Structure 1
Amino acid sequence: MSDKTTQPVKGPAELLPGWTAGAPDADALFAMAETALEQLPDMFKPHITDVVIEIEEFADDETLKSLDIDHPYDLTGLYEGRPLTERSIDQSGGMPDRVTLYRIPILVEWIEGGERLDWLVRHVLIHEIGHHFGFSDDDMHALEDGA
């Protein structure tokens, strides 16, 4: 297990080539998420090809209410779908599984926590992908450590 706090902190230009000012936009966070997906162990990749990754500014009021979350900054990511462990061959159709990363809450956590932004995006994404596999929190930590 690596200790992320001992790693050198990269500046904006190192994290996002060409980024010179302001908060990273949705495209920048999406690029970080794509990089994180590429770094997952090969054994997981065939099972996530149909998972849709989206970036939104905040969760909407309905989503927050359904999760009993009072403040939109408290939700950085969300998995919507049926975990692989709960699927049956009798099921067909339906919407694709989706992971949504919420840009503003992620940026607030990044600013407040001082962690590298790409690591934070990776952490949130892997946690949500873990729900797709039906993983426990311990399983998700092991997956993140292996990615």
Structure 2
Amino acid sequence: MGSETVNGSNAWLKTSAPSLAEMEAMAEDAYARLPEEFRTLCGNLVIRVEDFATDEVLEEMEIEDEFELLGLFQGIGLAQGYETTTGVLPNMIFLYRRPILDYWAEHEETLGDVVTHVLVHEIGHHFGLSDDDMERIEEEADT
């Protein structure tokens, strides 16, 4: 069995988990494919990828297992009166690489689909969108 490969491909032998920068690029690409009206809700959005949420965030959200939090939206969207004024930090989405990779390893979805799902849900929950609305937005991003 030594030199045999799954489905005749050995591509996985040289594949590694995406770095923080690679996952950030993946997230920015996924965000760019979301419907424009959805992106407009966010104002000036910055996407950051970190391995895990900070201890402060986990404590504030009363989360004991750092693998439970895949992403977080911080900020105020246009729907809540966001304006680009001096002294106002931009809206931010934090994606947590290690929990996302852990989730991906245990489910039948592509990594790109998981990243898109986390982005849409973090933004959508912040703005009070329904699960049906978020599912539609995800489907539009796939086209």
Instruction: Tell me the TM-score range normalised by the shorter chain.
Output: 0.7 to 0.9
Choose from 50, 53, 69 the match for 1:56: 50
CA distance in 1, matches of 2:104, 2:91: 26
CA 22–88 in structure 1, closer or farther in 2 if over 3 Å, else same: closer
Choose from 74, 80, 83 the match for 1:86: 80
CA distance in 2, matches of 1:65, 1:88: 27
Alignment of 1:1-147 (within 5 A): 20-48=14-42, 50-87=44-81, 93-147=87-141
CA distance in 2, matches of 1:59, 1:52: 16
- The structure number with the bigger radius of gyration is 2
Deviation at 1:29, TM superposition (A): 0.9
Count of residue pairs the alignment pairs up: 132
TM-score, with structure 2 as normaliser: 0.77
Contact 1:51 1:96 survives alignment (8 Å): yes
CA distance in 2, matches of 1:135, 1:118: 22
Contact 2:41 2:79 survives alignment (8 Å): no
Point out where structure 1 has 5 or more consecutive residues left out of the alignment. Answer: 1-10, 14-18
Contact 1:84 1:133 survives alignment (8 Å): no
The match for 2:3 is: none
TM-score, with structure 1 as normaliser: 0.76
What do residues 90-138 of structure 1 show as CA deviations (whole Å, max 9, x unaligned)? x864211100000000000011113211110111011112245442333
State percent identity of aligned pairs: 43
Question: What value does the CA root-mean-square deviation take over the aligned residues?
Answer: 2.8
Contact 2:42 2:78 survives alignment (8 Å): no
